[in-house]
Structures are given as C-alpha cells and as structure tokens.
C-alpha cells in the first residue's frame, strides 16, 4: 500500500479535524453545536472512506474483517460464562440467582414491566437474569433485562440468531437496586449539555458523556407513580445539572438536602445516569449487560447516597424497627461501606479519574481504550519498521510512512494521558470524601 502526502493529509487530517470540532462543539450550543457535530461526522466519514479504498477488502484485511463475527460470538459466550461465575461468587450462601426460565422472584425491588418499573411480585414484570446478595450489610439486586420486556419472561439468549444478537448489543440494560424502606416515588435525572446551559449553569459534562447519558436513559425503567417536576428551591449548580420529579414534593426536599445536592454535583458518576426511588428500592441503570463491576460499583454509589440522606427522613416515611436496622447498617461501617471490596487496576484508574472530575470507566471500556492505544502504537511503528527493512521501498515512501506515524503516536499519547493520568486538581468530591473519612457517621 502506497500513500501519497495528500492521502496522509486527508486520512489523519480528517480524524484530527473531527476530534477538534467535537471539542469545540462541547463549548457551543443550539444551532452552532449541531453544525459542528455534523461537520465532525462528515470529516471522520471522509477520512474513513479514503482509508478503506486502499485494499482493506482484499488480502490480509479481508481476513481481518471476516474474523469480526467470530470475535463477537466469542465475546458473547465469554460474557455469559463470566456472568454465571461471578454471580455464583456474589450470591454465596445468603444470596440467590434468578433467570427468566426458572421459577422464583427477588425478595424486593422492581422488575421491567410494560414501559415502567413494576413491583417484584407483579406478574407483569420480567427480566433475563438477576442476582440478589448482601453488600456491606445492605441487600443489593442486580438485574439484566431487554427493551419491551413483559410477561411471559424472555427466553434464553441464543447467540446463533441474528435478531437476538442485535438486540443483545443494542437493547440490553442492567439495573442495580439497593433495598431501602418503602418511600414515595422520586426520580433524579442528569441533564444533557443543552439542558445544562438552558438552566443557566456551567456545563461540566462533555459530548462523550452526553452519549453515555443518552445510552443509559434509553430503555431505562422509571417509577410507575405519577410524577411532577420540582424545579424551584435547589442550589444553583444542582439545578443546572439535574432535574427532579417526585410523587411527593415534601419528601423530595427532605431527601435532597444541601449536603446531598453537593454530593451529587461533585461525584461525576451521577452525570451519566438517573437515580430513582420507589417500592422499597433505590436504583439506577446502565446500558449493556450486567457485569460484576457494574453491580458492585453502582451499589457502592447507591450506598453512599443512601447514607447521605438524613436519618430522620427515612424514619418519617416508614417508622419502625426495620428502619432503625437499615439506618444502623448504613452508618455502621462509615466510608468503608462506600468502597469496592477489591482493589484492582480499574479501581485505581477510576480513583484518579473521579478525583479529576471525570466519569469512571468500566473494565470493558478500559480494555477497549488499552486495545485502541495498542492499535495506534502498532499503526505508528510497524509500517515504519517494515519500510526501513525493505529494500524495495523508496526513501520518499519511507518518509511518507514516517510522517503518517506522527498522528497515531500523538493520539495514543493523548488517550493515555486522559485515561490514566488526568489532571488531579482539588475538587468538591475529594473534599467530601476526605471530610467523611475523618468523622464517624452516626444516625441523627
């Protein structure tokens, strides 16, 4: 394959221009933002078409494209195997595992009903897979479901059927729930970038976080109760980043104290999802299949949120001995109950990212970024090495390949920087966590 300087400029210049336009788009709004995003798509498409015209559908490239379906099938099989493995470990002796084709229902929480969340004992509710277990003294339920799920429950996933594979990629969602006292329905939704600016706040999210927010909220389960917006009386930053809907306005204000509002503003985890409370459960959802990291990470954040809600709020909605037990478990371990039980590379990377105000990454997304960096490094190094050892290549072609290597190398360096070494500047989230670690939490 021979690339002229013009080809190099079109391919890498197109991708570079697309990234630059997306970066500028995050700082504009309305019509200008739409035009910039459209221009970025056009630039990336032009670069891709130019690159694909150079023999990518013949020779070794043809083998690479042909291996894609095999890799996807193997990935689904591996995820299914891993899911049964970690679910058995989490359930242990005190938990339970549920599937769509086995009898049994979780002991609390909500299920996927026709368009809305229904109670765990409602026959119209369904799911594909669920695991219920104890997490730092709290009862947690992780559930996987698909769009348009309703009774009877969906059958076993068959990866040999194209329709089910497409549905598993695009229409599978996970729901993580924390058992709590029965409360009126409450929904807290993160705002997208245009909404944040429209609310008069300083947008902290990026256009890529906007994409994750859209993916998480499409097909998400909402409370079945009648909700009304509660727009007034919030702190400015919270009002700019979140929208609140409630069945009972007084309860919503009792839950969302200034301390809770500041916690949600400071923690980037809340920027790409919604949090709901109803039917004895506090829950959030993600797009994609249920994984161990999704369950444990989301459960830790839900425990942190529940612990920040004043104890008297829980007592007001459901007084009794069970509530006192719930409050006692929330505060018994303090900040230790907010952390994941095992230290790993993902946990360490996410600690740095959250300290810098960036959204945490799942293991799948982290592996994808590492793979992308490896591919960029290979794209930068291998052609130059091959050209330098081949006597058939001219000096002009070697120089052309050398200039091409600059672009993927720079992109790889930038990606490593923003993924593993984001700027660690003091943030409200750090201060809140430090304050919490120095005091002993007691129910009020």
H helix and E strand count, the chain: 17, 11
Residue 268 confidence (pLDDT) = 87
Q: pTM to 2 decimals?
A: 0.73
Dump the DSSP string for 93-104.
TT-EEEETTSS-
Q: Which of 18-27, 256-265, 323-332 has the lowest mean pLDDT?
A: 18-27
Verify that 210 and 287 share a domain, yes or no. Answer: yes
Q: Is residue 68 part of a domain?
A: no
Q: Is residue 157 part of a domain?
A: yes
Verify that 44 and 116 share a domain, yes or no. Answer: no
CA distances from 113 to 40, 149, 281, 290, 436 (A): 39, 7, 16, 18, 38
More confident residue, 114 or 228: 228
Q: Is residue 133 part of a domain?
A: yes
How sure is the predictor about 259, in pLDDT bands with cuts at 50, 70 and 90?
A: very high
pLDDT reading at 291 higher than 60: yes
Verify that 166 and 32 share a domain, yes or no. Answer: no
**pLDDT (average), residues 254-268:** 93
Verify that 282 and 354 share a domain, yes or no. Answer: no
Verify that 228 and 312 share a domain, yes or no. Answer: yes
Q: Which of 50-54, 227-231, 249-253, 298-302 has the lowest mean pLDDT?
A: 50-54
Residue 60 confidence (pLDDT) = 56
CA distances from 321 to 279, 304, 318, 333 (A): 18, 22, 10, 19
Number of Cβ within a 10 Å radius of residue 376: 21
139: nearest Cα among 96, 75, 104: 96
Verify that 239 and 354 share a domain, yes or no. Answer: no
* Maximum mean pLDDT: which of 76-85, 267-276, 359-368: 267-276
**Each residue's pLDDT tens digit, 55-83:** 555 555 556 656 666 776 677 677 777 78
Question: At which of 304, 324, 344 does a domain end?
Answer: 344
Residue 228 confidence (pLDDT) = 95
**Each residue's pLDDT tens digit, 305-357:** 999 999 999 988 877 778 888 888 887 765 555 555 555 777 778 777 777 77
How sure is the predictor about 187, in pLDDT bands with cuts at 50, 70 and 90?
A: very high
Verify that 339 and 270 share a domain, yes or no. Answer: yes
Q: Which residues pair with 281 in a beta bridge?
A: 179, 278
Q: Is residue 60 part of a domain?
A: no
Q: Where are the alpha helices (DSSP H) in 267-362?
A: 292-308, 311-317, 321-332, 345-355
Question: At which of 299, 316, 344 does a domain end?
Answer: 344
Residue 288 confidence (pLDDT) = 84
pLDDT reading at 33 higher than 80: no
Q: Is residue 40 part of a domain?
A: yes
Question: How many independent structural domains does the chain possess?
Answer: 3
Residue 442 confidence (pLDDT) = 46
Q: Which domain holds residue 418?
A: 345-444
Verify that 117 and 232 share a domain, yes or no. Answer: yes
Q: How big is the CA angle at 46 (ends 45 and 50), to the nearest 5 degrees?
A: 115
Q: Is residue 85 part of a domain?
A: no
More confident residue, 363 or 166: 363
Verify that 303 and 392 share a domain, yes or no. Answer: no
Q: Which of 45-54, 314-323, 372-381, 401-410 has the lowest mean pLDDT?
A: 401-410
- Nearest-angstrom CA–CA distance, 104 and 97: 9
Q: Order the strands of the 281-287 sheet from edge to edge.
A: 96-99, 129-135, 138-146, 172-179, 281-287, 274-278, 186-190, 242-246, 228-229
Contacts of 413 (CB under 8 A, 6+ apart): none
Verify that 195 and 206 share a domain, yes or no. Answer: yes
- Nearest-angstrom CA–CA distance, 208 and 227: 29
pLDDT reading at 383 higher than 70: no
Q: How big is the CA angle at 243 (ends 148 and 319), to the nearest 5 degrees?
A: 85
> What element of type H or E holds 244?
strand 242-246
> What element of type H or E holds 274?
strand 274-278
More confident residue, 442 or 371: 371
Verify that 216 and 352 share a domain, yes or no. Answer: no
Q: Is residue 84 part of a domain?
A: no
Question: At which of 328, 344, 360 does a domain end?
Answer: 344
Tokens of 314: 């829980």
Q: Is residue 316 part of a domain?
A: yes
Residue 421 confidence (pLDDT) = 81
- Nearest-angstrom CA–CA distance, 334 and 338: 8
Residue 443 confidence (pLDDT) = 45
Residue 62 confidence (pLDDT) = 59
Verify that 335 and 351 share a domain, yes or no. Answer: no
**pLDDT (average), residues 83-94:** 85
**pLDDT (average), residues 353-382:** 78
Residue 125 confidence (pLDDT) = 87
Residue 214 confidence (pLDDT) = 83
**Each residue's pLDDT tens digit, 132-168:** 999 888 899 999 998 754 433 444 444 444 445 545 5
Number of Cβ within a 10 Å radius of residue 203: 21
Residue 18 confidence (pLDDT) = 84
């Amino acid at each position: 394959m021979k690339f002229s300087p013009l080809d190099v400029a079109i391919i890498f210049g197109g991708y570079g221009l697309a990234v630059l336009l997306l970066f500028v788009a995050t700082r504009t709004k309305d019509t200008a933002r739409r035009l910039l995003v459209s221009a970025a798509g056009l630039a990336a498409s032009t670069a891709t078409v130019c690159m694909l015209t150079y023999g990518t559908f013949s020779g070794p490239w043809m083998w690479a494209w042909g291996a894609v379906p095999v890799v996807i099938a193997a990935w689904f099989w591996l995820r299914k195997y891993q899911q049964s493995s970690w679910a058995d470990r989490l359930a242990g002796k005190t938990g339970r595992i549920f599937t769509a084709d086995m009898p049994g229902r979780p002991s609390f929480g909500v299920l996927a009903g026709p368009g809305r969340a229904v109670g765990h004992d409602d026959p119209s509710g369904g799911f594909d897979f669920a695991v219920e277990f104890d997490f730092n003294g709290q009862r947690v339920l992780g559930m996987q479901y698909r769009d348009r799920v309703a009774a009877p429950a969906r059958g076993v996933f068959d990866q040999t059927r194209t329709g089910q594979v497409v549905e598993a990629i695009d229409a599978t969602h996970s729901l993580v729930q924390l058992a709590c006292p029965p409360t009126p329905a409450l929904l807290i939704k993160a705002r997208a970038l245009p909404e944040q600016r429209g609310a008069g706040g300083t947008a902290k999210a990026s256009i890529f976080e906007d994409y994750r927010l859209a993916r998480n909220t499409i097909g998400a389960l909402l409370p079945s109760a009648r909700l009304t917006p509660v727009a007034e009386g919030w702190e400015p930053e919270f009002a700019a980043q979140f929208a609140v809907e409630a069945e009972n306005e007084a309860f919503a204000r009792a839950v969302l104290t200034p301390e809770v509002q500041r916690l949600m503003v400071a923690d980037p985890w809340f920027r790409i999802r919604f949090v709901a409370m109803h039917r004895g459960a506090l829950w959030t959802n993600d797009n994609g299949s249920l994984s161990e990291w999704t369950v444990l990470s989301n459960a830790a954040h839900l425990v942190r949120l529940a612990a920040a809600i004043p104890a008297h709020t829980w007592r007001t909605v459901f007084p009794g001995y069970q509530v006192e037990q719930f409050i006692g478990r929330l505060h018994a371990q303090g900040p230790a109950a907010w952390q994941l039980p095992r230290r790993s590379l993902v946990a360490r990377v996410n600690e740095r990212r959250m300290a810098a105000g960036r959204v945490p990454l799942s293991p799948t997304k982290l592996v994808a970024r590492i793979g992308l960096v490896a591919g960029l490094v290979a794209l930068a190094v291998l052609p130059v090495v091959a050209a330098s050892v081949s006597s058939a290549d001219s000096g002009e072609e070697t120089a052309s390949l050398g200039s091409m290597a600059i672009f993927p190398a720079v992109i790889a360096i930038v990606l490593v920087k923003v993924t593993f070494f984001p700027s660690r500047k003091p943030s409200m989230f750090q201060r809140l966590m430090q304050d919490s670690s120095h005091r002993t939490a007691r129910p009020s």
